[in-house]
Homo-oligomer: A and B are copies of this chain.
Amino acid sequence: MTLAEATRRFVRDVVLPSEPPPGHHLAADTRRRLQDAAKEYGVFAPHVGAEFGGRGLGIQDWPAVFQEAGYSPFGPVALNCMAPDEGNMRLLELVATTDQQERYLRPLAEGRIRSCFAMTEPHPGAGSDPAALMTTATRTDGGWRIDGTKRFISGAAGAAFAIVMARDDRSGNATMLLVDTDNPGFRIGARVAAIDRAIDGGHPYVHFEDCVVADNAVLGAVGEGFRYAQVRLGPARLTHCMRWLGLARRALDIALDRVERRSLFGSAMKDLGLAQELIARCIIDIETSDAIIAKTARVMADDPRAGAALSSVAKVHCSEAVFAVIDRAMQLCGGDGMTDALPLASFLNEVRPFRVYDGSTETHKWAIARRATRTRTKEIESGLERRMDAVNDHA
C-alpha cells in the first residue's frame, strides 16, 4: 500500500467519522486523537524528513498524499500537513540552524505545537504586493526590536511561535525572525471574522510592540527575507492546491451519491443531461487541476525558481476550479446543497478565500502575463526567434 493509499484509508476510516458539524473547528482533543491515529497508520507528517519524525516524501510525491488528506477539511490537520505549519516546517528544514530546528521544527513536526507566519499587513503594508512591507526590525545590542502590525495571520491564536517578516531598518531589506508568542512584545489583536471557519487559531491581527529578540532569532541570513518568502510561498501555494483539490473530489462524491439516488421528472438524476454537464465539467476541472499540480511539483523538484513561476498558473487554475466544482456540487444537491444537511455550503465558504489568499487571481494573472511578455522578448532579443508580426501597415 502506497502512502497515498494509506492516507486514503486513514482519512475515510478515521477522519470522516470524526468531522465536526459544518462551520465548526476541530476540538483540541479530537485533533490530538486524530494525530495519534495518523501516527499509528504511518501517515503522519508525510512531507517532513525522517530525522524529524516525518515520512520524508519529496515534493513530486506530495500531490497524491495531500489530495487524499484534503478529502476532509480536517485531514491535513490530522496528518500535520496543514497551512501554515506545513510551509513553516519546510522553511525551517531548509534554512534554520540546528538549534532552531530542535527548538521549533521538532515539536512542530511532532504536532506538539502550532505556529504562524506573520507577513501580511493592513493596507498600505504588505499584501498582494509584499514589497510594501512596513513592519521594522531594528538592530539593538545583541538582537533586534520588531515593531509593526500584521493581520490575516492564520493560526496565530494558540501558536507557540511566529516566523515574522520585517524590514531591516538599515538596509531596507527584509529579514525573517523567529518570535515566541510568549514574548511580551507579541500580542494577538482583533479577531478577523473571515468566511472560512475551519482553521485553528483564526486569521487575527498580530501586533509587534517593542518586541525584542536575540540574534539567534534570525532565520537564515539577515536581509534574505524576500528570497526565503519566495522559497516558502511557491510550494505553500501548491500544497494549498493539493489539499483543496482533495476537498473538491469529496464535494463531487457527495453530489454523485445524490444523483445516484434521486430522480426528477421521471428520470434518474444521473441520466439528466443538465446534471451530466455539471458532472463532466467537475471532472474536467479536477483532472486538469491534478495534472497542472503534478507538473508544477515535478518542475519545482528540479528547478524551484521555474516551479514558483509555474505555481502562479497552478494556483489560478486550481483555486477557480475547486470553487467551481464545489459550487456545481451544491447545484446538483438542490435545496440540501444550500443547508448544513450536507457540508457543501461550508466547503464553499472554506475555499472562497483561496482565490484571494496567497496572491489573488488577478495579481497572479498580472504576473503570468508579464512573465510571458518578458520571456518572449528575451527569446527575440537572443536571436533564437523571429518576430511573427510582419504586418505591412501601409499597402
Contact = CB atoms under 8 A, between A and B. Distances in A.
Interface stretch (A212-220, A229-237, A268-276): A268-276
Contacts of A361: 331
Interface string A235-276: 000000000000000101110111111111100001011111
A261 B341 contact: no
A6 B364 CA distance: 33
Interface string A321-353: 000000000110111111111100100110011
B127 A362 contact: no
Contacts of A95: none
A352 B342 contact: no
Q: How large is the interface on A (under 10, 10 to 19, 20 to 34, 35 or more residues)?
A: 35 or more
Contacts of A195: 338-339, 345, 348-349
Interface stretch (A137-145, A161-169, A289-297): A289-297
Contacts of A340: 193-194
Contacts of A341: 192-193, 391-392
Of listed A273, A335, A348, residue having the most chain B CB within 10 A: A335
A205 interface: yes
This chain: copies in complex: 4
Contact of A395 (B189, B258, B265, B291): B189
Given A274-B365, A348-B352, 5 more contacts: A12-B385, A257-B380, A282-B372, A284-B368, A288-B313
21 contacts: A16-B388, A22-B193, A192-B341, A195-B339, A195-B348, A272-B362, A273-B275, A273-B366, A274-B366, A275-B362, A276-B365, A279-B372, A280-B365, A281-B365, A283-B368, A284-B313, A330-B352, A331-B360, A334-B356, A335-B357, A336-B391
